Structure 1
């Protein structure tokens, strides 16, 4: 059953990419908000690898593909901080367009990437697991660095969503982030490996909707 969930997630992210680029009138690739679509590309690859794992089969190829998933997570997920800065710049508050704000965000993004690489990707050991019809490779043990990065990115998304609501009354980024946070924190027992991925999809939908709305506003 989980195969169909991950297949739906993969197709949904492809649709989000198309909708995002078609609906947003701003085509400036220098805008920090375009990093959202880099993250969505990563999530598309991530879910596709999980979905088709059992057809690839246990072995070095599938293990390498799953290691690639962790590299994607380490290198791309922290760029959501840059996406958040891009949104705040579009909110009309001049401070977020200053060189100081840009450099602080860039440094924080690089620090999170380095933490993830050093504490997780560089030392990770993977083992094959078959769950609910899905064959995937998971870490032999959990790594604190990954949890730290997720917490920091989630906090920045939450703060950005709150600021956008205060500045502009736009609530959907805040709602999507809260749903993701509550769903991940509550001890909900679900007979599936796809629950967190479903929450991620809800979050990404809210972020794409936010990007489209602010990219189409007249500055």
Structure 2
């Protein structure tokens, strides 16, 4: 049952990926490129979770599981810059100028470094069963995923500003769902993955509304 649910989440993310790719072809902004990379990582994650029990323990599942951790460590914090780009596109003054985006860029790099340490350098995979699924988890993990938590909180903050300033609720809604789902995901893994889907949907809706309301397709979303 859980394996089928993860497969459905992967399919839904493939559909979202297609929508993002179509949007990027019409409006080739760098924020959409970053978003595509993140969605590809999430698709891989859910696809491996869906097929783990079928593959069984061994070298094949172990090898397929490595990119799950690598891509989460390297790509998920990029959502901060996606949020910053969309916020600037909607005219958020707190994200104006060059200093604030640069600060968020430094924060993103720091979170990537922390994730790389925890999920690449210190990665120690061990097989774990959940319902009818089989996956490899990081036995070296000894605390909450700080990079993911900080990323979500930043997106919540930008989402609040977008709601107040531009009446755009989708980023905030997706980030809040992700935050709640991540908290419950410690005991119910599927909730966390559904939360990721909701978050990406919120980001896509925010980007769609921005780019479909006459925002110049060739303009850099980080421009002051």
TM-score range, shorter chain: 0.7 to 0.9
CA distance in 1, matches of 2:48, 2:100: 36
Matches within 5 A, 1:64-213: 64-93=63-92, 96=95, 98-144=97-143, 147-185=145-183, 193-213=189-209
Q: Contact between 1:126 and 1:139, CA under 8 Å: does it hold in 2?
A: yes
Structure 2: 5+ residue stretches without partners: 216-224
Q: Contact between 2:122 and 2:140, CA under 8 Å: does it hold in 1?
A: no
1:108/1:168 Cα in 2 relative to 1: closer, same or farther (>3 Å)?
Answer: same
CA distance in 1, matches of 2:28, 2:47: 29
Cα offsets for 1:66-118 (capped at 9, x unmatched): 12110000010010011011111111246635332332222111111111112
Question: TM-score, length-normalised on structure 1?
Answer: 0.88
User: SS at the partner of 1:58?
Assistant: coil
Q: Contact between 2:24 and 2:33, CA under 8 Å: does it hold in 1?
A: no
User: SS at the partner of 1:194?
Assistant: helix
Displacement of 1:119 in angstroms is 3.0
Q: Report the RMSD for the aligned CA atoms in angstroms.
A: 2.2
Moved more, 14-23 or 163-172: 14-23
Counterpart residue number, 1:63: 62
Cα offsets for 1:43-62 (capped at 9, x unmatched): 01111111111222211221
1:80/1:187 Cα in 2 relative to 1: closer, same or farther (>3 Å)?
Answer: closer
Cα offsets for 1:154-182 (capped at 9, x unmatched): 11110010010111011121122112222
User: SS at the partner of 1:136?
Assistant: strand
User: SS at the partner of 1:217?
Assistant: coil
CA distance in 1, matches of 2:68, 2:79: 17
1:217 and 2:205 correspond: no
CA distance in 2, matches of 1:167, 1:156: 16
Displacement of 1:189 in angstroms is 6.3
Displacement of 1:15 in angstroms is 0.3
Cα offsets for 1:3-53 (capped at 9, x unmatched): 110110111011001122335675224x33431221111101111111111
CA distance in 1, matches of 2:27, 2:116: 32
CA distance in 1, matches of 2:79, 2:185: 26
CA distance in 1, matches of 2:137, 2:94: 42
The total of aligned residue pairs comes to 215
CA distance in 2, matches of 1:20, 1:44: 14
Counterpart residue number, 1:20: 20
CA distance in 1, matches of 2:71, 2:175: 21
Structure 1: 5+ residue stretches without partners: none
